Structures are given as structure tokens and as C-alpha cells.
Amino acid sequence: MVNVKKFSPESASEAAKLLEDGAAVVFPTETVYGLGVRADYKQSIENLYMIKERDGVKAITLMLPSIDTVEKYVTITESKRKQIMEELLLGNTVVLNRRAGVNIAYLSKNNSIGIRIPKNNEAIILLTMCKFPMAVTSANMSGQPSCTTAKGVYEQIGKRVPLIIESDICHGKPSKVIDLRRGVNKVLRA
């Protein structure tokens, strides 16, 4: 049975433990509710696709707690460093080339990966509690509207996850996605 709990340090700690054990959890971001799993555990990624009934060719974003953690996963050229950091600090998802040897290749079907740093403290607290990278996508069934309330999440995927952390911070517009792998910015989702 799914638990719906208000955000608190205790509920975030419970979520971090569930994630560490390979489960999927739902938590609020400043945009929409996110469905998160361990990015370094392939079975968790497979579970995320199953929960959403999502096409396995669609990439999943790597959500990180701070700018300091970004270069562990992607390659950043000096010429793009300032622009990439600015976009990340705005809460946008930035698509970059995955760093060689990073064991999260199953997040995308090519050498790229989308990176996002949320702009709200609740998500950052949870991400910081996790000692592993987190793969996150919107907490909804594939093809359905993104959820901005815990009730909406519960109605779509509630029976498929052990914990939904509730908050009233979601504003409803998914993050902008920008491909910065090439020499020119390419907006993939405005």
C-alpha cells in the first residue's frame, strides 16, 4: 500500500532509504512531481519504465543536488562552462555528452545525458540524502498530463510506488530542455 506523507526530514529520509534499496519514490520539484529511482541500479531504471508504461527508448534525466556534482557524469568544455552552469542554475535540463566510464549508460540510448538541478529545497534535501545519482522523470503515466498534486500522482501511479511525498510547491510547467552538445543551443522542450 502506498504511503502519502507531507514533506519533512523524516519522510525524505524514508524516501532515501527506499531509493537505496532499489524502490521508486515520488517527490515534489518546483515544476511537477518527479518519479525517482537510483540511476546506478539498472533494475530500478527498468522499474521506472514499467511504472510509467514508458517506451524504453525515451531517455531519463539525471537529477543532481548541486553544481559541484555535475562533472562526475558529463563532459563540459571550457567554452560552454559558463552557459551550462547558468542553465543548470535556472532549473533547466541540459543535455550533454556523458563522461566516459560513467555507469549509467542505460539512461539514454546514445552518449548523451540530460542533467537537471532542481530549484527547490525539498528536492535538494532528498537528493543530498542519497549517496547515489537519481534518475527522475515526471510522476505520471506515459502520455498523460504531468502531475502538480499528490492526488493527481496517486490517481495515475499511486498503486505502483511505495511512497509519495506531498508538498504544494509544484507550479506545473516541466523544465525547459536544452541540448548543449553542439555549438549552437537547441531547445528540445520550451
Over the chain (190 residues), the average pLDDT of each successive run of 10 is 89 97 96 95 93 90 93 88 91 91 74 92 96 94 95 95 93 88 80
pLDDT of 102: 82
What pLDDT, on a 0 to 100 scale, did the predictor assign at position 1? 58
Domain that holds residue 11: 3-189
Share of the chain residues as helix, strand and coil, in percent rounded to the nearest 5: 30, 25, 45
Pairing of strands 177-179, 186-189: antiparallel
Structure confidence by residue, pLDDT tens digits, 96-124? 988 888 877 667 777 889 999 999 999 99
- State which amino acid sits at residue 16: A
Q: Would you state the pLDDT for residue 114? A: 93
Supply the pLDDT for residue 183: 65
pLDDT of residue 48: 96
Structure confidence at residue 36 (pLDDT): 97
- Under DSSP, is residue 95 helix (H, G, I), strand (E, B) or coil? strand
CATH number at residue 116: 3.90.870.10
Q: Number of folded domains in the chain?
A: 1
Could you tell me the pTM of the whole model? 0.93
- pLDDT, residue 105, reads 63
Strands (DSSP E) contained in the chain are 3-6, 25-28, 33-38, 61-63, 93-97, 112-116, 134-138, 163-166, 177-179, 186-189
pLDDT for res 14: 97
